Amino acid sequence: EAGVTQSPTHLIKTRGQQATLRCSPISGHTSVYWYQQALGLGLQFLLWYDEGEERNRGNFPPRFSGRQFPNYSSELNVNALELEDSALYLCASSVRAAFYGYTFGSGTRLTVV
């Protein structure tokens, strides 16, 4: 069974540009979660999508946005990139039931220069 796949693995952008990160969940999982892991800050919850709808959002500015497609894959968009957006962005998927826990992808390393 294929795991959660994220692309690209690495992404280098210039300050002010836009970044698009993609995530494909495990087959049968309807929920996709995005987390930011910046150096020294742990995992910060960004967004949760389920059945194509945004279900919850973390404490991030509106320039962080995303969507979920009918096949449950998802993309995260970060507009007007700032240097502090440099981080590992992790996507996770699950069925919509908290006790199952998540399955994580390997992440996209975003570097803003």
Partner 1 sequence: AQSVTQLGSHVSVSEGALVLLRCNYSSSVPPYLFWYVQYPNQGLQLLLKYTSAATLVKGINGFEAEFKKSETSFHLTKPSAHMRDAAEYFCAVSDRGFGNEKLTFGTGTRLTIIP
Query: Minimum distance between the CB of residue 81 and partner 1, rounded to whole angstroms?
Result: 22
39 binding partner 1? (CB under 8 A): no
Structure tokens that stand for 8 in this block: 């690209």
Token pair 């399955």: residue: 103
AA letter at 95 = V
Alpha-carbon distances, residue 22 vs 11, 13, 41, 79 (angstroms) = 12, 16, 22, 15
Query: Which residues inside 8-27 make contact with partner 1, applying CB under 8 A?
Result: none
The one-letter amino acid code at 92 reads A
**Pick 19 or 31: Cβ nearer partner 1:** 31
User: Of the candidates 56, 9, 52, 58, which has an alpha carbon nearest to the alpha carbon of residue 30?
Assistant: 52
* Per-position x/- string for 64-103, each x denoting binding to partner 1 as judged by CB under 8 A, each - no binding: --------------------------x-x-x-xxxx-xxx
Q: By CB under 8 A, tell whether 35 contacts partner 1.
A: yes
List residues near partner 1 by CB under 8 A. 4, 31, 33, 35, 41-43, 45, 48, 50, 55-56, 90, 92, 94, 96-99, 101-107
